[in-house]
């Protein structure tokens, strides 16, 4: 097969025919070594691009970055970005902000720079904190419309975010997309031998940044209620964050036994935590589309989660686990209780989630769909995506 980057050069052109070349994309992302969802999302997709996608690193380089260091870093990043946009001969810019103060300001500047160089721009809004976005003063809403309405397209992780983007004043094309699960997760889950439903313990997993708004304290309270009735129940907390020390103290002060704090886990350690779990508990306050939920599904875990972000768009209550608008620990404990008492239900849900994840969360499929969006935005130009495969 002719390599895609050379196909145009090797095709004889007729007089006046435009040779469509492989498009080149400049994509912004935090350092791939960072813990956040955007970095993880783009890291998972990196091996699956058929096009020429250049990663441009933005965002904090350290957790303890000072305000002065943030301003300096944003200025330097903006200068480097302007230089790349001018000299790199990119055809489209793909920005990846979260809907928060720093990211919106930073990417608003980058969007203006890209437009100054006449580049089409795709904005992929990942995280979205409704409590913050809903408090936009009028002048900020006007500024959002003025800056971000210049984007050629928006990608969001759920129909609720599409609605919110419209309320903020974006009137252009909006695409709703999913999130990817790493290939090795799907492969390892597929090769994992079936285990007996009956176990001596029942392990609840909380896998996320250890922050109050991720639901860590609701998870601990839920576990406390369950432990009163089921001595064999255990809790694993996997993740790092500003509340890790406080969460440890919370568990110790309530004499919660059989609670393991693993800290940040990745790669094999994360997969191992998922393999050892019986249910995934995630009572988060707000999300985009949490990758941890999708990873838990890939490993055949029933999921109990808050109805946040893009989850209500696809999550089937009862079939995938349980989704609730409440974070009350009594309610969450009653949902876990149903899975403890009904191993057959656990097995059916786990099998359903595993099959659903393989069908819908493939990184290869999501990268291909994003490339289709690039092609849609570049339609009519002399750049296009050649057929893949």
In this prediction, residue 109 carries a pLDDT of: 93
Same domain, yes or no: 216 and 306: yes
In the Cβ-directed half-sphere of 263, how many Cα atoms lie within 13 Å? 0
Q: Does residue 251 lie within any of the structural domains?
A: yes
Same domain, yes or no: 341 and 198: yes
Same domain, yes or no: 243 and 355: yes
Give the domain range for residue 141: 4-180+362-384
In this prediction, residue 146 carries a pLDDT of: 86
Q: Does residue 99 lie within any of the structural domains?
A: yes
In this prediction, residue 282 carries a pLDDT of: 98
Q: Computed from CA positions of residues 176, 181, 183, 186, in that sequence, does the dihedral angle turn out positive or negative?
A: negative
CATH (domain of 70): 3.40.50.2000
Same domain, yes or no: 11 and 128: yes
Q: Which tens digit of pLDDT belongs to each residue from 61-111? A: 777 778 888 889 889 999 999 999 888 789 999 999 987 777 788 899 999
Q: Does residue 86 lie within any of the structural domains?
A: yes
Q: What is the DSSP letter of 75?
A: H
Q: Does residue 346 lie within any of the structural domains?
A: yes
Contact call for residues 71 and 102 (beta carbons, < 8 A): no
Same domain, yes or no: 216 and 287: yes
Please list the ranges in the chain whose pLDDT falls under 70.
1-21, 129-140, 190-199, 380-389
Cα–Cα distance measured from residue 335 to residue 304, given in angstroms and rounded to the nearest whole number: 7
Q: Does residue 89 lie within any of the structural domains?
A: yes
In this prediction, residue 135 carries a pLDDT of: 65
Same domain, yes or no: 194 and 107: no
Same domain, yes or no: 342 and 371: no
Residue 107's contacts (CB-CB under 8 Å, 6 or more residues apart) are 28, 95, 96, 97, 123
Same domain, yes or no: 112 and 196: no
Cα–Cα distance measured from residue 385 to residue 5, given in angstroms and rounded to the nearest whole number: 10
Same domain, yes or no: 63 and 97: yes
Q: Which tens digit of pLDDT belongs to each residue from 290-317? A: 999 999 999 999 999 999 999 999 999 9
Q: What is the pTM of this model?
A: 0.83
Number of domains in the chain: 2
Q: Does residue 130 lie within any of the structural domains?
A: yes
In this prediction, residue 251 carries a pLDDT of: 97
Contact call for residues 319 and 355 (beta carbons, < 8 A): no
In this prediction, residue 136 carries a pLDDT of: 64
Same domain, yes or no: 131 and 207: no
Same domain, yes or no: 15 and 131: yes
Two structure tokens written together for 36? 């956040």
Q: Give bridge partners of residue 206 from the DSSP assignment.
A: 237
Same domain, yes or no: 23 and 46: yes
- The CA-based dihedral angle spanning residues 164, 170, 172, 173, taken in that order and rounded to the nearest 10 degrees: -20
Q: Does residue 389 lie within any of the structural domains?
A: no
In this prediction, residue 387 carries a pLDDT of: 36
Q: Does residue 157 lie within any of the structural domains?
A: yes
Instruction: Identify the CA nearest to 29 among candidates 130, 107, 129.
Output: 107
């Amino acid at each position: 097969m002719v390599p895609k980057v050379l196909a145009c050069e090797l095709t004889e052109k007729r007089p006046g025919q435009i040779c469509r070349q492989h498009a080149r994309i400049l994509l912004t992302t935090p350092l791939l070594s960072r813990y956040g969802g955007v970095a993880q999302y783009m890291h998972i997709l990196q091996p699956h691009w058929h096009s020429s996608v250049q990663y441009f690193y933005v965002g904090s380089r350290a957790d303890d970055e000072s305000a002065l260091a943030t301003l300096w870093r944003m200025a330097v990043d903006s200068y480097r970005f302007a230089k790349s946009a001018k000299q790199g001969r990119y055809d489209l810019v793909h920005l990846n902000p979260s809907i928060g103060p720093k990211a919106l300001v930073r990417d608003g500047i980058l969007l203006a720079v890209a437009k100054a160089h006449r580049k089409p721009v795709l904005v992929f809004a990942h995280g979205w904190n409704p409590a913050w976005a809903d408090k936009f003063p009028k002048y900020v809403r006007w500024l959002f419309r003025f800056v971000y309405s210049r984007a050629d397209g928006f990608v969001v992780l759920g129909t609720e975010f599409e609605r919110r983007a419209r309320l903020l004043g974006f009137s252009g094309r909006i695409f709703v997309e999913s999130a990817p699960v790493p290939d090795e997760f799907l492969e390892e889950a597929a090769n994992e031998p079936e285990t007996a439903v009956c176990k001596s313990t029942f392990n609840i997993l909380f896998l996320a940044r250890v922050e109050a708004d991720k639901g860590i304290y609701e998870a601990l309270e839920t576990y406390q209620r369950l432990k009163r009735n089921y001595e064999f129940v255990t809790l694993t907390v996997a993740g790092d964050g500003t509340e890790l020390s406080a969460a440890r103290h919370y568990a110790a002060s309530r004499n919660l036994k059989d609670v393991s704090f693993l800290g940040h886990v990745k790669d094999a350690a994360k997969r191992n935590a998922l393999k050892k779990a019986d249910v995934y508990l995630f009572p988060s306050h707000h999300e985009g589309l949490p990758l941890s939920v999708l990873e838990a599904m890939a490993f055949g875990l029933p999921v109990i989660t808050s109805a946040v972000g893009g989850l209500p768009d696809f999550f089937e209550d009862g079939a995938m686990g349980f989704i609730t608008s409440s974070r009350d620990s009594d309610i969450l404990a009653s949902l876990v209780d149903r899975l403890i008492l009904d191993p057959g239900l656990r097995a059916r849900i786990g099998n359903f989630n595993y099959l659903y994840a393989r069908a819908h969360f493939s990184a290869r499929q999501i990268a291909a769909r994003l490339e289709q969006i690039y092609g849609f935005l570049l339609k009519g130009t002399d750049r296009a995506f050649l057929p893949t495969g």
